[in-house]
Amino acid sequence: MASTEILLVKPVEGLGGEGDQVKVRAGYARNYLLPRKIAVPLNAANKKHVEALKKRRAGREQDELTGAQELGKKLEKTSLAFAVKTGEGGKMFGAITATDIHEKLTAAGIAIDKKKIHLHVPVKTLGKHTVKVKLHADVSVEVNFDVVSENPIEPAVVAEAPKPEGRRYDRPDRK
């Protein structure tokens, strides 16, 4: 397969950041990266842009890091509460998902991407829980939230099954 070297102008997930010189398949460069102006072909004229791109990249990464740290401090102070409907014995109807947490954070005035909330399994129990929010490669915060019942919890009533009459099953000599 043919490959070509290109210079990235914008960061590409899984490939590199701006100013990086990468080797990719020729079709990927020709059909995707170059038409969208994400990359430029590597030649003598474009190599001069490398320093400017790297300087811009360092400034952007520093801004992203400081923004993530500030948002992390704000998230650490935030506590959320979810009121859910419950049935007998405090069993929840439904579950709390990452979407629900995202909606609560947005309502609290914290703008965050839903994909950054790492809740691996939906919460299906009452009580205190934590969720990990990864804001940056170097910044991750744990957000605490409570799940409480909307209605009072009623104890579950356990009914005993009636024993069958007629035959006695407790005697080993009879079947």
CB hemisphere CA count around 138 (13 angstroms): 9
Q: What proportion of the chain, given as a percentage, has pLDDT over 90?
A: 28
Q: Tell me: domain 72-149, CATH 1.10.3720.10, correct?
A: no
- Residue 51 vs residue 34, higher pLDDT: 34
At the topology level, CATH places domain 3-48 in: Ribosomal Protein L9; domain 1 (3.40.5)
Domain ranges of the chain: 3-48, 72-149
And the tokens for 52? 């400017």
pLDDT reported for residue 46: 81
Q: How confident is the model at residue 131 (pLDDT cuts 50, 70, 90)?
A: very high
Residue 4: is its pLDDT beyond 60? yes
pLDDT reported for residue 103: 93
Q: What is the DSSP letter of 76?
A: H
pLDDT reported for residue 135: 87
Note whether 110 and 154 are within 8 A (CB). Answer: no
What are the Cα distances from residue 1, in Å, to 17, 30, 42, 118? 24, 14, 19, 38
Residue 34: is its pLDDT beyond 90? yes
- Sorted by sequence, the CB contacts under 8 Å of residue 51 that are 6+ apart come out as none
CB hemisphere CA count around 16 (13 angstroms): 17
Tokens 């995707």, located at residue: 32
Q: Backbone phi, then psi, for 54, in 5-degree steps? A: -65, -35
Q: What is the DSSP letter of 95?
A: -
Residue 174: is its pLDDT beyond 70? no
Q: What is the pLDDT of residues 67-110, one digit of tens each?
A: 889 988 988 888 889 999 888 877 888 899 999 999 999 998 88
- Residue 50 vs residue 128, higher pLDDT: 128
What are the Cα distances from residue 3, in Å, to 26, 29, 31? 5, 9, 13
pLDDT reported for residue 24: 95
Tokens 């990266």, located at residue: 33
Nearest-angstrom CA–CA distance, 94 and 150: 13
pLDDT reported for residue 155: 64
Helix (H) or strand (E) holding 117: strand 117-118
Q: How confident is the model at residue 163 (pLDDT cuts 50, 70, 90)?
A: low
